[in-house]
Structure 1
Amino acid sequence: MNTELPSSWCRARYVVAAVLCLLTTLGTLPLRELLDLANIVMIFLLTVFVAAVWLGRGPAVMAAVLAVALFDFFFVPPHLSFAVADGQYLVTFAVMLAVGLITSHLGALLSERTTEAESRERETRALYQLARDLGGALTVGQVAEITQLFLATVDMDVTVLVADTGKSGSTFHEFHEYGSHELNDLEKGFARTAHEKRTIVETDSLVGMGVAIVFLPLVAPEHVVGVLALAPRTDDVDRMRSLRPLLEAVASLVAITLERLHYAEAAQSSELQVAAERLRISILSSLSHDLRTPLTSLVGLADTLVQRQPPLDEGAIETAGIIRDQAHAMHHLMSNLLDMARLHACNITLNKEWQPFEEIVGSSTRLLTALLASRKLEIGLPRDLPLVHFDAVLLERVLCNLLENAAKYSPPGAPIQVIAGTREQWLEVSVGNDGPGFPAGRMDQVFDLFTRGEREPAVAGTGLGLAICKAIIEAHGGTIVAENRPGGACVRFALPLGTPPPSMEEEEAP
């Protein structure tokens, strides 16, 4: 793609132009007595035009002046002298020179435009080949290698610096370098400037930089993905300036390719995460479903041993009771796993109805009578709570899980509070206790699967309760948060109120 002429040829063009004029003179000199001078002038003008098209503007101008001089010396009487016998020949010389200059200008301009068009065509073809090669690249290393091979044709040493961003894709951390030229700390600072400012940074005018480097930001449609560091192998500033559009086009192609690889990697990672999550949910669902049947049989057999007639000895009855209790606990765990799998797989259908929240509080406390028997339960429910649209069975599970956690993670005899109220278009419910609270720094993790409040808790549990609560509340379009308060902990959830049907509002009216 190097379209510049060697300096030796630039000088030789003037010699070639002079030789063309001399050859024209030698060729037409024998015809001096046979041809009219006007025809000889046309032959010299043809020589000037050939010089303009072939050799360029400068040699063509010299050829025009030299042609006038040779025509005067050899063809205008008196011959072999620059003297002019007839003053009209001065007009001939002027017209000949003017026509020669104009012809040389137009011919040279045509030649330059043709050369530029051919150069642009070559660059377009090369950029098309580069885009095709980059389209097949699968890694950043391949992108850097293809770019280096391409720019080596224009005598450029290339280093591709790919920005390492945070999870959000907007915070710059460090560069990953791909190239033969290792950048020093000062050069990396200029690369960061080009990345942050989205501007071209040149170091050719700086003292002590060694190799002059041009830093081109790789600006993709969404963000700046890196920097292209170009070190020319020559000190030709004009050539670098002429190559600037090509280099910017290469930087744009590299940026688009790097962004494509980034999104392809993100899509593949997301697809793998979805597949892994789907597999985990399927395993949980399958295990919990298959284990519930034998556990039910185990509970029945344990009850049979306890109630057997004649009765067994006290030790066997106690052992059968322990087996029954453990089977009940395992059955509860399997139920939680199955519910969690259904909620995550979105296979559960909400049976939502307009109903009072007070009934859920009452049914939940009755189910946990044995657990809450030794606790002081403080319930704060306003009398004017409106009807709420929710699934009673699932919301009962939420309240039971929160009350069970509040009882487990609080000292014996400590009070437990259940407080409900309305705020704007939300029903807000909080379940709190007096106890150690949630561990600091892990508030965002308590709703994850199999996450416990403490890393080595003394209280038995599986870490599914709060995860199930979050899934159920979010399925209702609500929100749930955990927080510490002075002397204890609290879990708050909110459900949208909506507008009950008119008939139900009339039934609730006193």
Structure 2
Amino acid sequence: MKTRSPSNWQRARYLLAAVLCVLTTLATVPLREVLDLANIVMIFLLTVFVTAAWLGRGPAVMAAFLGVALFDFFFVPPHLSFAVADAQYLVTFAVMLAVGLITSQLAALLSERTQEAQAREHDTQALYDLARDLGGTLTVDQARDIAQCFLGRLDLDVIVLVADNSRPGLLFQQYGGRRLSELELTFARSTYEHHTLVETDALAGLGVAIVFLPLVAPTHILGVLALAPRSDDVDSLHSQRPLLEAVASLLAITLERLHFAAAAQRGEVQVAAEQLRTSILSSLSHDLRTPLTSLVGLADTLAKPHLPENAIETATIIRDQARAMHHLLSNLLEMARLQAGNIPLNKEWQAFEEIVGSSTRLLAGLLASRKLEIDLPKDLPLLHFDAVLLERVLCNLLENAAKYSPEGSRIQLVARTRDSFLEVAVGNDGAGFPVDRLDQVFELFARGEQEPAVAGTGLGLAICKAIIIAHAGTIVAENRPGGAWVRFTLPLGTPPAMEEEATR
């Protein structure tokens, strides 16, 4: 079935206006001997008003002129003639025409405003329904399908392009529709980079996307909304531009909500996994430390001179391995407690030199085969730190420096004050850290080499980093010619004033 075109409807409106004027004339001609001419004029003006309200401004103007002509021809003497016997009727014609034109203008304007208000109300209700539907979406595909259902009534195909920032360059992840051409992607990139709408009317009717709207959220731009009309009626598309921009805004807010919801979910999963790992490490460490301590004590008891030499050697090996496992479990427990934040820092103002001395005494056996060089400033001020934890940091760094350096080589411990912090560096002469893994050496269970010959678990540097960060410091690993450095910083602060004893 053929649909009525706009031009045919325009002609029909003028024809209906003429029919109304003719019907008014036919209805009032029998009454011209009964009604005064002024009352008949009012009837014609009523016809003009009805025409304006029903058919619009143009037909109403035609009805005003036609009404004056019909009134002159059928009601003004001499009848059935356009001649006017009394010149006063000319004033009647002028007033009738003026009133008819003004009335038609006002009535048509009121009708247009009413239609615009109804259209805005319809659009507002439709956008409200769209926002309600988008508020319940869980994926980008669902949001795109809802937008397609909404804009499909305007003969538009919807394609949502979400920017993929995980890879270098501007790439889009497409949702819905056919695969866009390189030309269309160029328009989409321009829209994304300049945050402005792009229209390509010259491509209308070719079945390609010609409108690209940026999906701008309150915090940043997320992607592009590409619209491909199913017809070549570009004028109707332009008239719907405010509606399209509102849809793009709602879609951008929805995509941002989905983005933050996914980030929050990932964060919750990571926190739960971290808590589970911490609790497992803590539980295992607590349960295994007691039997290992007993094992070390029993091995020491067995290693007596009255036993055969091979039995003493076996007991010594058992003792050393038990001690190594005890050290490992201690590190695991301490790392779990540090990550859980359950260790309160017992900070006091104290001398850094004392920590260096106690650490070197604890590792005297391991450092005996190395050349230890200690360089500390003579005027080093007091620092505010937890002595037990910082001693663990120095012990771990010195132990690593000894493990990964040959016997007889040099190990350096250097401290310098810089601005508002103390910088401490521990270095050795060895192979250094792998260049491509410098950023990973402070992670849990990370080793300097993929398959190191030196025994270890990769917890030492991770524990050092956790302790230094808890002291509001920084720690980095770097290579140097012929070896490696691990540097950490501690804030200097302002030591309390020392009270001098009163002398007499």
Indicate the TM-score class for this superposition, using the shorter chain for normalisation: over 0.9
The answer to whether residue 303 in structure 2 is matched with residue 302 in structure 1 is: no
The match for 1:65 is 65
Instruction: Out of 99-108 and 150-159, give the one that drifted further.
Output: 150-159
Aligned residues: 498
The match for 2:336 is 341
One-letter amino acid of the structure 2 residue matched with residue 454 of structure 1: E
The match for 2:30 is 30
1:306 Cα offset (Å): 1.2
Quick one: which of 456, 459, 465 aligns to 2:460?
Answer: 465
The gaps in structure 2 that reach 5 residues or longer are none
One-letter amino acid of the structure 2 residue matched with residue 142 of structure 1: Q
One-letter amino acid of the structure 1 residue matched with residue 328 of structure 2: L
Instruction: Out of 206-215 and 433-442, give the one that drifted further.
Output: 206-215
Deviations 1:49-85 (A, max 9, x none): 0000111101111111110111111111111111111
1:182 Cα offset (Å): 2.8
Q: What CA distance in whole angstroms lies between the structure 2 residues aligned with 1:455 and 1:232?
A: 57
Q: In 1, are the aligned partners of 2:184 and 2:209 still within 8 Å (CA)?
A: no
The match for 2:327 is 332
Change (3 A) 1:129 1:437: same
Instruction: Out of 11-20 and 339-348, give the one that drifted further.
Output: 11-20
Q: In 2, are the aligned partners of 1:163 and 1:172 still within 8 Å (CA)?
A: no
- Taking only aligned residues, the RMSD between alpha carbons, in angstroms, comes to 1.7
1:184 Cα offset (Å): 0.8
Quick one: which of 403, 411, 415 aligns to 2:398?
Answer: 403
Q: In 2, are the aligned partners of 1:157 and 1:181 still within 8 Å (CA)?
A: no
Q: In 2, are the aligned partners of 1:211 and 1:231 still within 8 Å (CA)?
A: yes
Q: What CA distance in whole angstroms lies between the structure 2 residues aligned with 1:406 and 1:211?
A: 65
One-letter amino acid of the structure 2 residue matched with residue 60 of structure 1: A
1:208 Cα offset (Å): 10
The match for 1:233 is 230
The match for 1:197 is 194
Q: What CA distance in whole angstroms lies between the structure 2 residues aligned with 1:209 and 1:20?
A: 45
The match for 1:219 is 216
Quick one: which of 354, 357, 361 aligns to 1:362?
Answer: 357
Q: What CA distance in whole angstroms lies between the structure 2 residues aligned with 1:199 and 1:59?
A: 41
The answer to whether residue 46 in structure 2 is matched with residue 51 in structure 1 is: no
Quick one: which of 473, 485, 489 aligns to 1:490?
Answer: 485
The match for 2:439 is 444
Q: What CA distance in whole angstroms lies between the structure 2 residues aligned with 1:207 and 1:16?
A: 36
1:207 Cα offset (Å): 9.0
The match for 1:419 is 414
Q: In 2, are the aligned partners of 1:166 and 1:173 still within 8 Å (CA)?
A: no
Q: In 1, are the aligned partners of 2:217 and 2:252 still within 8 Å (CA)?
A: yes
Q: In 2, are the aligned partners of 1:158 and 1:181 still within 8 Å (CA)?
A: no
Q: What CA distance in whole angstroms lies between the structure 2 residues aligned with 1:78 and 1:70?
A: 13
The match for 1:322 is 317
- SS at 2:159 equivalent: strand
1:172 Cα offset (Å): 5.8
Q: Percent identity?
A: 76
Q: What CA distance in whole angstroms lies between the structure 1 residues aligned with 2:152 and 2:102?
A: 40
Quick one: which of 270, 274, 277 aligns to 1:280?
Answer: 277
- SS at 2:436 equivalent: coil
Q: In 1, are the aligned partners of 2:201 and 2:234 still within 8 Å (CA)?
A: no
The match for 1:154 is 154
Deviations 1:453-474 (A, max 9, x none): 0011011100000000111111
- SS at 1:441 equivalent: helix
- SS at 2:223 equivalent: strand
The gaps in structure 1 that reach 5 residues or longer are none
Q: What CA distance in whole angstroms lies between the structure 2 residues aligned with 1:14 and 1:154?
A: 29
The answer to whether residue 354 in structure 2 is matched with residue 386 in structure 1 is: no
One-letter amino acid of the structure 2 residue matched with residue 367 of structure 1: L
The match for 1:259 is 256
1:316 Cα offset (Å): 1.3
Change (3 A) 1:491 1:282: same
1:280 Cα offset (Å): 0.8
Q: What CA distance in whole angstroms lies between the structure 2 residues aligned with 1:183 and 1:439?
A: 44
Q: What CA distance in whole angstroms lies between the structure 2 residues aligned with 1:247 and 1:18?
A: 40
Change (3 A) 1:208 1:66: closer
Q: In 1, are the aligned partners of 2:404 and 2:430 still within 8 Å (CA)?
A: yes
One-letter amino acid of the structure 2 residue matched with residue 276 of structure 1: A
1:390 Cα offset (Å): 0.9
Instruction: Out of 186-195 and 41-50, give the one that drifted further.
Output: 186-195
1:11 Cα offset (Å): 2.5
Q: In 1, are the aligned partners of 2:209 and 2:226 still within 8 Å (CA)?
A: no
Q: In 2, are the aligned partners of 1:204 and 1:212 still within 8 Å (CA)?
A: no
Deviations 1:388-435 (A, max 9, x none): 111111111100000000001111111000111211111111100111
- SS at 1:445 equivalent: coil
The match for 1:174 is 171
- SS at 2:86 equivalent: coil
Q: In 2, are the aligned partners of 1:164 and 1:174 still within 8 Å (CA)?
A: yes
Change (3 A) 1:305 1:228: same
Q: In 1, are the aligned partners of 2:78 and 2:85 still within 8 Å (CA)?
A: yes
1:206 Cα offset (Å): 4.9
